[in-house]
Amino acid sequence: MNTGEIAALQKEHLMPTYAPGIALVEGSGSFVWDAEGKEYLDFVSGIAVTNIGHCHPKMVHAVQDQVETLVHVSNLYYNEKQPVLAKSLAQHAGMPGAKCFFANSGAEANEGLIKLARLWGSEHGKYEIITMRQSFHGRTLATLTATGQDKVKTGFGPLPEGFAYANFNDIESIKGVITPKTAAVLVEALQGEGGVIPADSEFMSDLRKLCDEEGILLLCDEVQAGMGRTGKWFGFQNYDVQPDAFSLAKGLGNGFPIGAIVAGEKLADVFQPGHHATTFGGTPLACAAAQAVVDVIEQEDLLMNTQMMGAYLAEGLCEIALKHKKWIECVRGFGLLLGLVLDVPAAELQKKLQEKGLLALATAGNVLRLLPPLNVKQEEVEQALTLIGEACEELHEEMAAQSPNPCQCGMGE
């Protein structure tokens, strides 16, 4: 089928929740190809999912071997892949006493995290979860309520009770909403959907202190920032803090659906038999995929590559931003979760880049979000920077031409 045929079939048979433009049919490493055979450098990575690139041979073999051996047995039986994977996640988190619960998506992992915090607090009548404005935590009823963006909530009420909202990077704002019913504060160390906004170091350490003083939990949503994306195993490791528990999904399975809750000692044994469950969570197949991801990140030193390529990409983006400082504000983020912050909607730039063969994301209106795989090569970053430079140049000229008086809108020279 060509793209037009696929689009027509989709229009007829799928709910119109998404509005894709191109049909992708194949991927390898940092590249994908569409139904017409056009090649794209993929700096979206399926939204921070294919962190070790498309069809990494180690992942392909791990999944092939496992699919021939055992796919699913349910959690009624031991499955050695789960504790082995859980142990390595806890070790990489620097939380040796931590225990995991495996789920199937980010929303489900966060839903479990919310339940865990509520069960922990239930003895003392604490159930409220404080989340940040502009945060994103998923689309189930509880997680969309936790999400600090009104646009995902409209029309879905009544929403579950027990959530309060504070301003990100504003410790006073958090203090202002803590009540005797507060069980936890849930934060992303680096907000992805919110526009690639990192937490301030001071905010994170103040928050850890505040939670300890108030006897409430600090929870991190690591669904997007986790699994090496920021150049550390987990986003919170960019700060000198440790959460009481955190959630994972996206990059954990490199595209094989798997999510997880990783809970430190305080929460490790709060869920007892009957408290929480899932049929699919942590199947031998999902765990084989995730274990391959962990092994590849370790063996190929991808945290180092993420730091180096992230710095290289950020530097190139800064040069572009400087050149267009009238309409590009700054570059922000960690590792390979970077945002080019514009003064204009990012959709235009994203579209131009796609035409040129670079996939990127427009986020929070005016942010171009770049998420290459963690094993991206320097020449691929260079190629992306060339395309972004060209696209910005073109956009600059178009904006200048559209404006009757370029000087007034600040676009002309």
Ligand X SMILES: *Cc1c(COP(=O)(O)O)cnc(C)c1O
Binding-site ranges for ligand X (CB under 6 A)? 105-107, 110, 136-138, 188, 192-193, 221, 223-224, 249-250
CB closer to ligand X out of 81 and 250:
250
Q: Could you tell me if 156 and 191 are in contact, meaning their C-beta atoms sit under 8 angstroms apart?
A: no
CB closer to ligand X out of 34 and 244:
244
- To which residue do tokens 């392909």 refer? 60
Least distance to ligand X from the beta carbon of 210, Å?
Answer: 22
User: Residue 260's closest CA among 114, 74, 103, 48?
Assistant: 103
CB closer to ligand X out of 247 and 324:
247
d(CA 364, CA 132): 15
d(CA 406, CA 343): 15
Least distance to ligand X from the beta carbon of 160, Å?
Answer: 16
CB closer to ligand X out of 85 and 142:
142
Least distance to ligand X from the beta carbon of 409, Å?
Answer: 34
CB closer to ligand X out of 257 and 316:
257
Least distance to ligand X from the beta carbon of 260, Å?
Answer: 11
- DSSP-assigned beta bridge partners for residue 163: 129
Least distance to ligand X from the beta carbon of 269, Å?
Answer: 25
**Contacts by 307-313 with C-beta closer than 8 Å and gap 24+?**
307/231, 307/335, 309/336, 309/372, 309/376, 309/377, 309/378, 309/381, 310/231, 310/334, 310/335, 310/336, 310/338, 312/378, 312/381, 313/338, 313/370, 313/372, 313/381, 313/384, 313/385
Least distance to ligand X from the beta carbon of 43, Å?
Answer: 16
CB closer to ligand X out of 225 and 387:
225
Of all residues in the shown chain, the one whose CB is closest to ligand X is: 106
d(CA 187, CA 78): 33
